[in-house]
Structure 1
Amino acid sequence: MPPRVSSWLTPAAWVAAVTAVLLLVFPVGFPNYDTIYALVWGRELAHGVSPDYGAALPPTPHPLADLLGLLTTPIGDGAITATMIVAYLSLGLIGYLVYRLGSLWFDRWVGAVAAAIVLTRAPFLSNGLRAYVDLPYIALCLGALAIETRRPRAGWPVLALLVPAGLLRPEAWGFAIVYWLWLTFDPRRASNPGSTGRIAGSDPTNRPIGRRFGWELGWRGQRGGRELAWLAILALAGPILWILFDAITTGNPLYSLTGTRETVETLKRQTGPVDLVLYGPRRLGEVLQWPGMVGALGGVVLGFAFLRRRSALGIAAVVLSLAAFALLAAAGLAIIARYTMLAGAVLSIFVAVALLGWRLVEPEHPWRRRWQLFSGLVLAMFIVWLPNQWDLDSQVHTDLSDQGTIERDLTDLVDAGAFEPACGKIAVPNHRAVPRLAFGLKVKPTQIVSASEEGVPTHGYFVAPADKFVIEHYVLDPNDPTRISLQAPPGFTEVAHNDSWKVFSRCGAG
């Protein structure tokens, strides 16, 4: 078998195997609120009209997700299947890339343990199997890290992955810019306090720019000015394309930022510098849980102290991802666990380092025995936590099954012809059902009215939960300020129902 084919076959088989296991254990994934909206907006783009952002509490648009909606428009309802294929593959790819990075930085056992940790964390399973855009974003960023690990300062291949990542999450903009600075400049310690010449240990082509506090900054000489200029354009492509997307579709180049801030304020989510200090570590803890947090901290410290060359890129990635999370939180975006998952994926490698890294130091190393003791402590914590982790993962399965059933019941009403467009707009209890109905009925989201935010029209349809179970399991956001009623407005009569929903109508002008 040709080496090039073999190099792709192994990861493909790995991802396929993980995806197959996920499908067996969690066969009931479905696109979340944000992703269904992306499919609706992509369909509108495919029809040559601007996305309809006028419904109650629309999510932040993500250009690459909307592009997926545009590309899958020709297959109709199959767009949901295509989206879930991307979701399952993204989760499998994250597992493989965490394994690969752990193997490249340390060894295969570290990589295998790290992948097992990631693929059993409830937030990765819950968000991944709901097709959040964060999972393909994380996969792209980890892929960029893998390329940089194999080929230091690889240049455009790394940026080529960070650009699409930057069309899913704005954190990747900063990663691309920092990476370009790394390609361009060479910061090193000066050869001696009085040196004014070449940077110590640097390539002869590197040209010093300045020196301060015993450090010198030089231009890297490996690339010419023209190549660096093209790489700079590539590094800035993410924010430029996103701003252009907002400007073209809304007339406001900062729509995504301002719209997200408004939603954060409406839902009363934690945001800002003070909440960052209070809640930021907790959100990361929701991803790793407390054994993982202890292991990650110890793994980073021990890796930096005794395996510094192996750990350097991983620690830099953790610092950058957490810094990006902090900057966006300070700028007014929400402080939620999902936004810490990239850092959590890389930190899982350092949890594995805490458990197994002692094998990589010399047998006579004075810290080897202490490392083994710490490894035993972290392992004991994971064992004690195992029943809790089982409960968390089981809850993910239960929630996916319950919510998936409720969503399918809503789609069944659409397929059964329960709604006649001429009757009027469709009112739903709150904004959660808006994109699913808009997608199924092939109408603009503003044709679906959120009763709790906008009231119920005098005529048309009202869709009510069949019981309190639907309310408790379909309203995913505990910060939602609305209250849902099971009662239809006066004058509406029931025309259809199933296990999860009841449809009431009042057609005509009265």
Structure 2
Amino acid sequence: MSGVTLSPTQTGSDAPAEPPPRLGRVPLRALEWAGIAVLVLIAIVGFFVYPTWPNYDSIYSLVWGRELLDGTNMSFEAYRAPTEHPLSIAVGAILALFGEGGDRIWTAVCLASFVWLVAGLYTLGKEIFTPLVGLVAALLILTRFDFPFYAVRGYIDPAYLALVIWAAVLEVRKPRRGIPVLALLVLAGLLRPEAWLLGGLYWLYLLPKATWRLRIIGAVLVWTAPFIWALTDFLVTGDPLYSHTHTSGLSEELGRNKGIGAVPEATWNYLGKLAKFPVVLGAMAGAAAAVVLFPTRLKLPVALLAAGIGTFALVGLGGLSVIDRYLLVPSLMLMLLAAVAIAGWTMLVPGTWLRRGWIAGSVLLVLFGIAFTASRVNVNRLENELLFRGDSRTALREVLNDPAVRRGLECGPVFVPNHKLVPDVRWDLDLPVDQVIARTDPDAPPPERGVAILIHGRSAIFNQLLVNRRDRPGTNLPPDGFERVAVSRYYAAYVGC
């Protein structure tokens, strides 16, 4: 068809094109390393300018890691404790060796994982399509603020996503590579169980052309993460399925169990929330163009997109929490396909009418995306959120380190309004599970002696107190007989002896 000719490096079997060795007078590799250096510099500056600490789940991983080092049974069964993740506990044990500063190192690791993820998405786009497609995909994830915020708040998701994306890169570079890809998916499967399905599907894909050795080793690798997860649960709780049953129960208690019927609407809403509407629209256009011009290149992105949405449906069917984080991999594939819509013209021969028309369309899509984002992003709110993440942790430590509070620990346990502050207090004070009590726990004793931590300040109340409508009121009031001994910006401590 005239004007639809692919560039010389895009013809033939439609295999990934070799990237040009140079862009202008600068080697492509030099530009790539310069981009990584800039990302690392921004991450380092942000790490110190906006100091933040790990989120609720990650602080628990540090607490459990320290319990593991101490030889005590890990407190998986604590009130509203999150689901354990074996690899994050192992990392938590290593970082617990650094003492109180281990939590900041955890955040640094998450930021490094995010940089690795951005580099991986760029590389995937470059290997499947062109360097400019990869660059656009990297820029899209950098400007979808949920993703860097996951890193800043110490979530394990950036590391999980990086492992999955780099496994995809290895596969693209050498189809049916086998063991190296499965090894990365094993590590991902020790962070998030969604990777179990990815590993199993990839093993099935390998089967027709695999040797018996690869089939056997692959099967072992596919089952390694579920086995380690179940073994950890069994050794700690006596129930190898504890993570599943506990997660189902906790999601129901917190109102996150919406069932399979909520999956279609939630899929659309969450993908729009994570990737944003212009990216979803661009992904549709990019996928349509790729189907017509280079369909074989869509195999891996579409496979990851379908597997991610399928896993999300299984999560709803299994009674687990229907939350947006289970759609992170599909949202990355939408960004990659949107990058095709914006920069896929680089795969066409220069000077053709289709290439010129595509460039014009991509410019309109970019302008629409900029206008859409500018009308909805509140930079002040983002900055305030970052500042609160750092200031609230500093304020909590200020109260906990007060000499009067330290003396009050001799009188009894620490009582906190709900479960949100439990792991932070346990980590900072190095206390066992029975010495930090959430007052919303129906099995908790009433506060008669010890230390009571209360929350004040609008930001802290909305972020840490009003988290579950089912919690009974009054848990953020001073207990009878307790006297106030310390106050910081967001917290107050009362002692009763």
Quickly name the TM-score band, shorter chain normalised.
Answer: 0.7 to 0.9
Do residues 263 (structure 1) and 284 (structure 2) align?
no
Corresponding residue number in structure 2 for 1:196: none
User: Could you tell me which amino acid in structure 2 is paired with residue 131 of structure 1?
Assistant: G
| In the alignment, structure 1 residue 379 sits paired with structure 2 residue 360 | no
Query: For the residues of structure 1 that align with 2:103 and 2:30, how far apart are their CA atoms?
Result: 27
Aligned partners of 1:271 and 1:330 also within 8 Å: no
Structure 1 letter corresponding to 2:455: P
Q: Is the 8 A contact 1:268 1:479 kept in 2?
A: no
Structure 1 counterpart of 2:43, from 22, 36, 58:
22
SS at the partner of 2:478? Answer: coil
Aligned pair partner of 2:402 in 416, 434, 446 = 416
Count of residues paired in the alignment: 465
Structure 1 residues 256-290: Cα deviation after superposition (integer angstroms, max 9, x where no partner): 11111111101101532111112121011110111
CA distance in structure 2 between the partners assigned to 1:424 and 1:11 by the alignment: 56
Render the CA deviation track for 1:292-336: whole Å, top value 9, x for unaligned.
111112212222222212222222121112212221222112221
Q: Is the 8 A contact 2:107 2:151 kept in 1?
A: no
Q: Is the 8 A contact 1:16 1:89 kept in 2?
A: no
Does 1:343 pair with 2:330?
A: yes
Structure 1 residue 31 corresponds to structure 2 residue 54:
yes
The match for 2:116 is 93
Give the Å deviation of 1:470.
2.2
| Contact 2:110–2:154 under 8 Å retained in 1 | yes
Q: Is the partner of 1:491 in helix, strand or coil?
A: coil
Code of the aligned partner of 1:90: S
The TM-score with structure 2 as length reference comes to 0.87
CA distance in 2: counterparts of 1:408 and 1:498, whole angstroms:
9
Select 1:466's aligned residue among 435, 443, 456.
456
More deviation, 449-458/311-320: 449-458
Distance (whole Å) between structure 1 residues aligned to residue 120 and residue 193 of structure 2: 21
The answer to whether structure 1 residue 489 and structure 2 residue 475 are counterparts is no
- Paired AA for residue 440 in structure 2: S
Distance 2:353 2:259 in 1: 44
TM-score under structure 1 normalisation? 0.85
Aligned to 2:19: none
Are the equivalent residues in 2 in contact too, given 1:90–1:136 (CA < 8 A)?
yes
The corresponding residue for 2:190 is 167
In 2, distance between residues paired with 1:462 and 1:76? 25
- The equivalent residue for 1:203 is none
Cα deviation, 1:170-190, whole Å, max 9, x if unaligned, reads 0100111111111112xxxxx
Offset, 1:22:
3.0
Structure 1 residue 52 and structure 2 residue 75: aligned? yes
1:416-440 Cα deviation digits (max 9, x unpaired): 3423432111111111110000001
- Which residue is 2:23 aligned to? none
Name which of structure 1's ranges 395-404 and 278-287 shifts more when overlaid on structure 2.
395-404
Q: Deviations over 1:360-392 (max 9, x none)?
A: 23568786566456434422320221314542x
In structure 2, what is the Cα distance between the partners aligned to 1:9 and 1:412?
46
CA distance in 2, matches of 1:478, 1:123: 22
Aligned-partner Cα distance in 2 for 1:108–1:490: 66
Cα separation, 2, equivalents of 1:352 and 1:9: 22
Task: Please tell me the root mean square deviation across aligned C-alpha atoms, in Å.
Answer: 2.5
- Pick closer, same or farther for the CA change 1:356–1:468 going to 2, 3 Å: closer
Q: Structure 1: where are the runs of 5+ without partners?
A: 1-5, 186-219
SS of match in other structure, 1:463: strand
8 A contact 1:50–1:249 mirrored in 2: yes
Distance 1:415 1:9 in 2: 48
Q: 1:63 aligns with which of 86, 89, 96?
A: 86
Is 2:424 the counterpart of 1:436? yes
Indicate if the aligned counterparts of 1:55 and 1:448 stay in contact, CA closer than 8 A. Answer: no
Name the SS for the 1:86 alignment partner. Answer: helix
